[in-house]
Structure 1
Amino acid sequence: MLVCLRFQINQKMMKSAMIKDLYSEIDRLKQEVYAAREKNRIYIPKDRYLQDEAEKKAMAEKIERMELDVESRDKQFVVLQELYKSQQLLTAELSDKLDKTEIKLIYFETEHALADLEERFRQANATIKEKEYLMANLLKSGEANVHHSLKLFTYSPKC
């Protein structure tokens, strides 16, 4: 265990606490020197070893949680991709249906306009025939009047 001494200006420190910290530092350094003399291993103080092991375990748990999170997000991504593809297919189908409906609408409007024009054409033909009939009758009556006038004119006594 490393003891870090911090001194602050005008701070009073008790001699006994300072001596205690220095003795613990000396003990730690003695243990490290002893381990270095044996030369068969690396010495790490037990507190530091336990702290490193706890950190290692915490990191392993964190990595496991992150892997699970990544796996979960990958599954969500796959689901969203499938949903996106299905929405694209649905959009394509609806676009085709819309195009077909527009074509049907245009065809219906054209057919309706054609039927309307045909009806107007029949009415116009009927009107023309009626006028031709009236004109023919007027022409006949006019000819009859001319013919009758000529008869009267030719048969009239001379004065």
Structure 2
Amino acid sequence: MTKVELIDFLGTIAQSGTSKFFTALKENKDLGADNGLIGQFGVGFYSDFLVAEKVVVSTKSPKSDKQYVWELAAESSSYMIRVETDPKNIISYGTQIKLYLRPDDKYEFSEPARIQSLVKNYSQFVSFPIYTWQEKSRTVEVEEEE
């Protein structure tokens, strides 16, 4: 997305319904704020805040030389847009969304199988491919030579 598209697509939503969403989320925190809240505000981008403390969207349009980063913290009432300057965070083009999960939700929603199941279930009508990135590691014991 371009900067204008970020403002139009994410900024408009943030200004129109986010404060109500966050207020309701905080009020229902003790009740275990579940998926029932999504129905009150619509299934969409801002449902990320059911499990995330912060959302960062990095995006670069083929129409622009600049990569923009849109950021919003759950407790904030305004978002920030900046130009990405760190070479290790530059993407060729496309959009990358990072969710910084709340401590209570880290284990359930950081399992690759759970994420892939959610993406498959809730994005079946999206006409472009969605990829999930996974990092795998394993521990191997090595015998020491004397």
TM-score, normalised via structure 2 length: 0.19
Structure ID, larger Rg: 1
Structure in which a larger fraction of residues adopt strand: 2
**Which one has more relative contact order, counting CA pairs under 8 Å at least 6 apart?**
2
TM-score, normalised via structure 1 length: 0.18
